[in-house]
């Protein structure tokens, strides 16, 4: 059997490296994704996920997250949650419920409290200072777009028993409108996994990525016989081209995918990094887009 874990951006490397040895020892994909994403959420240097994430335009940090089990398709997700130490833990617990699997705002926070999950002030002094700087620039009349720091951590794991799990966590766009929700908690758009096939997770501009469920489409194309890279390319680049033709513009799109044999793939229209460990051997890759549909991969370690 093969075990594997893959995660978006350099920030995922720490989590991938923590979780990979457990997978080698027979640990579950669910624990690997949970542990991997918690490491990213807990690190205050990551400015777009969990503790240390950058806030919305009111100076409040609101987070989105999801967890999906590829054996039974159970999904849990939260959106617009505040002051929860680890949104991925709440998403995972919600995925075990029969109903009420996706909760937003106060309802999600009440659920988390009732389940005993830790509350924490997630806004660090550094994030607060960045917000104050941005707000001052806005008051000076500089046009600001809610852009910087919107990178999501998404992870997919495959364990020795053949179970696959996907998860996401993000604080969304810096200076977003209060209550704004991106693609990360949306099944099919931000993540999808089927243990008999594979999974995909997304990071980029949620407003564009929610226009089509490319993670689901990737898995569906794999189920129809395409290899993981061909499936991802067909789903992602086909839609980017369509969006460009229809709208004349397209946001950032980056995806990683993993099949149920441990083969992985990447598609991106921006420079992007991802971390992956297959049977415990961890690597970090830099992805540079060339012409649409083609990327150059450089193994950094």
Interface residues with ligand GLY (CB under 6 A) are 150, 152, 170, 172-173, 182-184, 203-206
Question: Of these residues, 2, 34, 132, 152, which one is catalytic?
Answer: 152
Residue closer to ligand GLY (CB basis): 3 or 203 = 203
**Least distance in Å: CB of 300 to ligand GLY?**
23
Q: Helix 29-42 to helix 87-94 angle, to the nearest 10 degrees? A: 150
Residue closer to ligand GLY (CB basis): 34 or 48 = 48
Residue closer to ligand GLY (CB basis): 144 or 161 = 144
**Least distance in Å: CB of 212 to ligand GLY?**
14
Residue closer to ligand GLY (CB basis): 41 or 183 = 183
Give the separation between CA 203 and CA 213, rounded to whole angstroms.
Answer: 13
**Least distance in Å: CB of 68 to ligand GLY?**
16
User: Which residue sits closest to ligand GLY, CB atoms considered?
Assistant: 182
**Residue 216 CB neighbours (<10 A):** 18
**Least distance in Å: CB of 150 to ligand GLY?**
5
**Least distance in Å: CB of 186 to ligand GLY?**
10
Strands 272-278 and 295-299: what pairing?
Answer: unpaired
Identify whether 152 is a catalytic site residue. Answer: yes
Residue closer to ligand GLY (CB basis): 251 or 262 = 251
User: Which residues are part of the catalytic machinery?
Assistant: 152
């Amino acid at each position: 059997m093969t075990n594997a874990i893959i995660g978006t951006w350099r920030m995922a490397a720490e989590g991938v490296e923590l979780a990979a040895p457990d997978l080698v020892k027979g640990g579950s994909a669910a624990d690997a994704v949970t542990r991997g994403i918690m490491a990213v959420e807990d690190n205050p240097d990551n400015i777009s996920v969990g503790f240390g994430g950058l806030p919305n335009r009111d100076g409040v940090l609101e987070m989105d997250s999801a967890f999906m089990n590829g054996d039974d398709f159970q999904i849990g997700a939260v959106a617009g949650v505040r002051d929860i130490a680890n949104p991925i833990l709440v998403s995972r617990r919600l995925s075990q419920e029969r109903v009420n699997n996706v909760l937003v705002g106060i309802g999600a926070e009440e659920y988390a409290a009732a389940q005993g999950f830790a509350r924490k002030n997630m806004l660090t002094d550094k994030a607060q200072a960045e917000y104050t700087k941005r707000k001052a620039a806005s008051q000076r009349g500089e046009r600001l777009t809610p852009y910087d720091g919107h990178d999501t951590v998404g992870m997919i794991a495959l364990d020795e028993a053949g179970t696959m799990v996907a998860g996401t966590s993000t604080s969304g766009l810096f200076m977003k409108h209060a209550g704004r929700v991106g693609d990360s908690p949306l099944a099919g758009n931000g993540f999808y996994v089927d243990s008999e096939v594979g999974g995909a997770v997304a990071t980029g501009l949620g407003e564009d990525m929610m226009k089509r469920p490319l993670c689901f489409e990737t898995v569906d194309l794999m189920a129809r016989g395409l290899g993981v890279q061909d499936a991802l390319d067909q789903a992602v680049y086909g839609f980017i081209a369509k969006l460009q033709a229809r709208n004349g513009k397209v946001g950032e799109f980056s995806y990683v995918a993993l099949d149920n044999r441990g083969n992985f793939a990447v598609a991106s229209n921006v420079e992007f990094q991802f971390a992956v460990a297959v049977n415990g051997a961890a690597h970090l890759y830099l992805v540079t887009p060339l012409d649409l549909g083609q990327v150059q991969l450089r193994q950094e370690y």
